[in-house]
Structure 1
Amino acid sequence: MLLEFGSTILMAGVAGFAYLKSNGSPSNDAAKIQSIFTNSKWTGVNGETIRIHRKRKFQDGTEYVYQLPLGFDRKKIESEKHILEDGLNIRHKYLEFDPADLLKIKLDRTVFKQIKRILTSKKTSRKEIEMEFDGMLRIKVYNESMQDRYDWDESYLKDDTWSVSIGNTRQGTVRHDFDEHKHLIIAGATGYGKSAILKLIVTSLVLQQPNNVKLHLIDLKGGSAFQRFKDLKQTISFTRDPAEAKEILENIQVEMNKAYIEIVDAGYEDIKESGRKERHFIIIDEAADIADDSACMDVVTDIARRGRGAGYYLIYATQYPSSQSIPQQTKRNIPSRLCFVLDDAIASNTALGQTGAEELPLIPGRGIYKNVKRQIVQTPYITNKEIKKCIEPHIVIRPRKEENNEKGTETGSDTFIIEET
């Protein structure tokens, strides 16, 4: 009797599972998307609706291809991507279990408890989408959220190049090649990856180009991010003080102008064509702290405008993107951007040139990298312990004279301190 009853329940469970898979909350996404198009009034100039052309399944989800009506502005959908994503995730809490679990049920007195445990094993899934346009609108719907952490290892390095790993997508690793795209603006709220990616970039450059990279580190957040790099043999200048930052920037400008003239007068278009190996990286963390100093910002703008030819590359980071902290002239000369979550669409538009960063999930390292195209990335995470291990061979002990003994002691000998890091 118990066996027959258990078999009946087992079959009912299998049937219920099949029903949930076909008719449960994860319903037809194509129909949902079509409803969102209609409800959002995304239509052509004459009211034509967006119609699906075809769809195809891939390993992690489904791609839907749409023919857009004539006169339809595809940027409208791109800027309101969150409407699509939110619509696909309404009531997306569903029962998910392996049918094999039902076959493992023991037909004894605990059968009801076993079935209850399986049926109450609920999983909340959030679908994510990617969009691109190549004459047709392609919407990829992923059944699961993107991985929220990638631990850094040496596989992210690429020897003897100026290309660094900037993040991971579902398709693989995205790299930023400074010899191709020169400068980079980085923005993002505190705690979501800005300082972490700066440390990763510095570490990668030192490991990939130990003899050719020259670092100018301006850390206006108190030195917490760059302090560990100040004694690197590759570090030419380091400061935490806005007044000193001005002096450093002016010295960089003088050297940059000299290098630029030498390269151009030799008949070369830029440093890459000249064959010179050396590259200077001017990395400013929390640039908003020098935004009020017009002399500083004039130098920053000049580096962004002419530094590319001389091999002086600017990485300009701020957690407060505004028209003042990122001047228009600087933005125009730095099309490459990496942006983590921001508090509103205005800040996103300032940093990226478009909205979207305000819609990012609150996941450290999740950002938007915009270069030739815009991509959602998860930046690799490198621990401070790993950084220390990587850069230790490049630390040098620098002698420095005591302030009160710069002219030597009474005995005629110089006094200096050896500082061990």
Structure 2
Amino acid sequence: MLFEVLTTGSMLGVLGASYYYKANLNDDSDKILKIAENCGLYKKDEKMRLYRRNYNKAKKYTEYVFKIPLGLELQDFLDKYGKFKDGLNNRSVRRINLQDFKNLKFDASLLKQIQALINNRVQLSKEIEMEYDGMLITRVYDEGLTKELLYDDDLLAKVKNWQVPVGVTYKEFVVHDFEKLQMLVVAGMTRYGKTVFLKNSITTLINNEPDNVKFTLIDLKGGLAFSRFMACKQVQTVAKNGEETLQALEAIHADLIKRQEHFLANGWEDIGEAGWKERHFIVVDEGAEIAGFEEKADRDRATHLLGEVARIGAGLGYRLIFATQYPTADVFPRQVKANTSAALCFKLKNSTQSMVVLDRGGAESLPTGLPGRAIYQTDCDSIVQTPFIPNQFIDIKIKPHINIRPRSDDASVSHRAKTEEKGGSYTTKFEET
């Protein structure tokens, strides 16, 4: 009896493994073509045609190269991203792990155990990437991105100087280098990772460039997001309301103009030629709150000052991170938008908001209830899972840089920029007021 069960189990195991491999030949080309046709991605009688298919075993994706009809462009297909993704994941498949057969119990229930292993089904979770280089390249990954990425010492070791970790794509680790892309826009609904990324960036820069980085932190929802950084010696200002924001931006603008004049006088084109190591980061969280300033003159002035930093600050050593959860055209400073070199966009409510940030839809189609998932845009778009940085980890990393100083009665810190030139050097000091 036991021999019969074992024999039957072995045969089922072999048949199950055979079925598994036959059912997973990684060919979704027919389905992609059908989805494109159903979405109207054709011109008259001309439809997409498969040119080549290759499977990358190491990175577990299948690359399809399609010839698309004249008159269609990459954006037409990106606009239908959600339909392609859902269409490729509309069924479950058998998932057999042959290692599980080692854990079988050789008793009367053996046959049922084997059948359970063979009949194990999982919902598909494929992810897709699209790009264009004369033909449409579509990569279909066997499995989606990780849903959790912890910021730890190993991850911190992957970035240096003025780099900050953006996260992982389906195939690589991505960093943002503020020496190459000086201005960054961050957008996303609350609880999807926007503020966590800002804390990630501040902690990274303090850890990697403690003697050269300076911060002006603007949190227009009361300063809670940046409260743990207030005592860091690298932090010049934490502005928590409209009045403090205007004071901080006026000080930065005055410093920026004087620095520009100093560079002109010395014939320096930018901060690299000047040989200055300092970089001053202006980090704005909830930037859309500027539109809520009571006085129109204050709103206009704050918007203008941020625009000036974005327009002329890069070559003078200023870096801007502008973040908002309400990216609409009437609250997004035009000069910031025009001079932005990169964007990190978490899930947004609708395609209109996505268009403001990315100039295309897509952020509204990011997974619901999945913090950290975002679109990182430079010269191309990548879907990334950004790292989660625990507050305990932040506290450990910034502790050596805490500068104990007396606090004013209202627990706010504002500063006045004071520029000095001595012996050919140029420094900016900040005095408490």
Shared fold, TM over 0.5? yes
Relative contact order higher in (CA < 8 Å, ≥ 6 apart): 2
- Counterpart of 2:336, as a letter, is T
Aligned partners of 1:104 and 1:281: how far apart in 2?
Answer: 55
Pair 1:202 & 2:202 matched: yes
- Residue in structure 2 matched with residue 394 of structure 1 by the alignment: 401
- Is the 1:336–1:371 Cα contact (8 Å) retained in structure 2? yes
- Counterpart of 1:7, as a letter, is T
- Is the 2:187–2:194 Cα contact (8 Å) retained in structure 1? yes
Shift of 1:296: 0.8
- Residue in structure 2 matched with residue 49 of structure 1 by the alignment: 47
Aligned partners of 2:344 and 2:97: how far apart in 1?
Answer: 40
Shift of 1:95: 2.0
**SS of 1:49 mapped into structure 2:** coil
Aligned partners of 2:198 and 2:100: how far apart in 1?
Answer: 47
- Is the 1:157–1:165 Cα contact (8 Å) retained in structure 2? no
- Residue in structure 2 matched with residue 38 of structure 1 by the alignment: 37
- Counterpart of 1:337, as a letter, is A
- Residue in structure 1 matched with residue 324 of structure 2 by the alignment: 318
Say if 1:135 and 1:272 are closer, same or farther in 2 by CA, change over 3 A: same
- Counterpart of 1:69, as a letter, is P
More displaced, 351-360 or 14-23? 14-23
More displaced, 384-393 or 218-227? 218-227
1:206-242 Cα shifts (integer Å, max 9, x gaps): 1111111111011112222100001111111112112
Runs of 4+ more than 6 Å apart: none
Pair 1:347 & 2:350 matched: no
- Residue in structure 1 matched with residue 278 of structure 2 by the alignment: 278
| TM-score with structure 1 setting the length | 0.89
- Counterpart of 1:326, as a letter, is F
1:102-124 Cα shifts (integer Å, max 9, x gaps): 58756642234323432453322
**SS of 1:109 mapped into structure 2:** coil
Segments of structure 1 that go 5 or more residues without pairing to the other structure are 404-421
Aligned partners of 1:62 and 1:187: how far apart in 2?
Answer: 31
Pair 1:79 & 2:85 matched: no
1:124-154 Cα shifts (integer Å, max 9, x gaps): 2311111121222111111111112222233
- Is the 1:97–1:121 Cα contact (8 Å) retained in structure 2? yes
- Residue in structure 1 matched with residue 15 of structure 2 by the alignment: 15
**SS of 2:360 mapped into structure 1:** coil
Say if 1:115 and 1:69 are closer, same or farther in 2 by CA, change over 3 A: same
Segments of structure 2 that go 5 or more residues without pairing to the other structure are 293-298, 411-433
- Is the 1:348–1:355 Cα contact (8 Å) retained in structure 2? yes
Aligned partners of 2:249 and 2:409: how far apart in 1?
Answer: 26
Query: Among residues 350, 356, 359, which one is paired with 2:365 in the alignment?
Result: 359
Say if 1:360 and 1:395 are closer, same or farther in 2 by CA, change over 3 A: same
Aligned partners of 1:107 and 1:241: how far apart in 2?
Answer: 70
**SS of 1:139 mapped into structure 2:** strand
1:366-414 Cα shifts (integer Å, max 9, x gaps): 11110121111111221100100000110011135669xxxxxxxxxxx
- Residue in structure 1 matched with residue 308 of structure 2 by the alignment: 302
Shift of 1:23: 4.5
Aligned length: 400
- Is the 2:310–2:340 Cα contact (8 Å) retained in structure 1? yes
- Is the 1:125–1:145 Cα contact (8 Å) retained in structure 2? no
- Is the 2:90–2:124 Cα contact (8 Å) retained in structure 1? no
Report matched runs for 1:240-279 at 5 Å. Answer: 240-279=240-279
Say if 1:137 and 1:396 are closer, same or farther in 2 by CA, change over 3 A: same
**SS of 1:179 mapped into structure 2:** coil
More displaced, 371-380 or 266-275? 266-275
- Residue in structure 1 matched with residue 338 of structure 2 by the alignment: 332
Aligned partners of 1:160 and 1:22: how far apart in 2?
Answer: 46
Say if 1:78 and 1:400 are closer, same or farther in 2 by CA, change over 3 A: closer
CA RMSD of aligned residues (A): 2.2
Say if 1:315 and 1:112 are closer, same or farther in 2 by CA, change over 3 A: same
